[in-house]
Amino acid sequence: MLATSFKSGNQLSASSIRAWRIAQALVWLVGATIFGCLLFFPALGLLLFWNVLIPVAPALMVISVGLWRNVCPLATTNLLPRHFNLSRKKKMPVRLQSKLGLVAVIALYLIVPLRHAVLNNSGIATATLLLVAVTIGMSMGFVYDWKSAWCSTLCPVHPVERMYGANTLMALPNAHCDSCVNCSIPCPDSTPNFNPAVPQKNNYQKLSGFLIVGGLPGFIWGWFHVPDTLEINSVREIISAYTMPFAGCILSLTLYWMLLNWENKRAGNRVVKIFAASAVSMYYWYRIPALLGFGLFAKDGQVVDLSSVLPQWSTTLMTIAAVLFFFYWVVIRKSNHQSWVVRPAYATRQSSLSRQKVDR
């Protein structure tokens, strides 16, 4: 029922809407519970957020980013003003969308190293980060229409969705937008095989695409070579959390730039896929062993310590299987021309015409 029940013109049936609302409410409750744990039971909250929820997210984005977009608790919260008709529903200019998209990429690269410096060990800091995201996202939601307010522009997770979601399993119904008003151009949710290199209308879009595709694999590699710091006593310690991720990022950006200049456009798409598969593979290459107690740094990122039960080679096998899967799914598997979710019917004939004008 969640996947298929449409009335006509891509409008969801009442029973499908109800099913999606229940799914959103349940996932929202899980998110709210984790948020409460971060404040009142920080050890449990940190474990659930950073070592259970976040490690699942990249794989889910690869397989079905539309499912993630439909039920993400932050999206559900930040879209409340629009769902309850409290938004001014302003149309955000494409140039501003592009600038905010670049801000999201920069925010991602600035926030993630802070996990080692403070977030991984502080429930209050992680809860504050989430609260800031909700405050900004909801404030934007009171002004701008649908996902242009947060989900498709400022959300720092969105560049990763773009990176990993280029060949999703299937297009799910859009469980947020009741009709399409062209809030996002191009709409990442509704464009088949969307990836960060697709938007090329201005330099902000080009730069965002370049930074996330080229930089992410090296950034992830560098990030996993930094231990969590229990106490920050100087600015130098904060800077050291950035050194390896930024060094890795610059290295892979350089490689990406060289490949782009060397390859033709058709091969360029393959390079984007290879970098996406490399980034998600790099993540699980280090993440799976760390979750099971075989990480590079003692208990960093550990859910359960199986190091005395499992042989080391078993985690090697798991990581190799993960890498093979992601390269098959992202690079080898044929592009299926599916979008993340099905675009709902356009709100009015006028907005449909204006979209055609913009797309031309």
CA–CA separation, 147 and 104 (whole Å)? 14
199 close to 186: Cβ distance less than 8 angstroms: yes
Alpha carbon of residue 190 to chain centroid: 16
Bond prior to 344 in cis (omega within 30° of 0): no
150 close to 137: Cβ distance less than 8 angstroms: yes
Size of the site for ligand SF4 (CB under 6 A): 14
Closest CA to 174 of 90, 18, 58, 67: 67
For position 182 contacting ligand SF4 by CB under 6 A, the verdict is: yes
The label of the residue with tokens 């397989």 reads: 63
For position 180 contacting ligand SF4 by CB under 6 A, the verdict is: yes
Q: Is 68 exposed, middle or buried (0-12, 13-18, 19+ CB in 10 A)?
A: buried
Residues 190-219 vs ligand SF4: string with x where CB under 6 A? x-----------------------------
For position 20 contacting ligand SF4 by CB under 6 A, the verdict is: no
For position 153 contacting ligand SF4 by CB under 6 A, the verdict is: no
Given the complex with ligand SF4, which of 331 and 347 has the nearer CB atom? 347
Nearest approach, Cβ of 107 to ligand SF4 (angstroms)?
20
Binding residues for ligand SF4 restricted to 320-349, rule: CB under 6 A? 343
Selected binder of ligand SF4 within 189, 208, 220, 315 (CB under 6 A): 189
Closest CA to 166 of 323, 337, 343: 337
Given the complex with ligand SF4, which of 121 and 190 has the nearer CB atom? 190
Only segment of 50-58, 87-95, 174-182, 332-340 that touches ligand SF4 (CB under 6 A): 174-182
Q: Which residues bind ligand SF4 (CB under 6 A)?
A: 146-147, 152, 174, 177, 180-184, 187, 189-190, 343
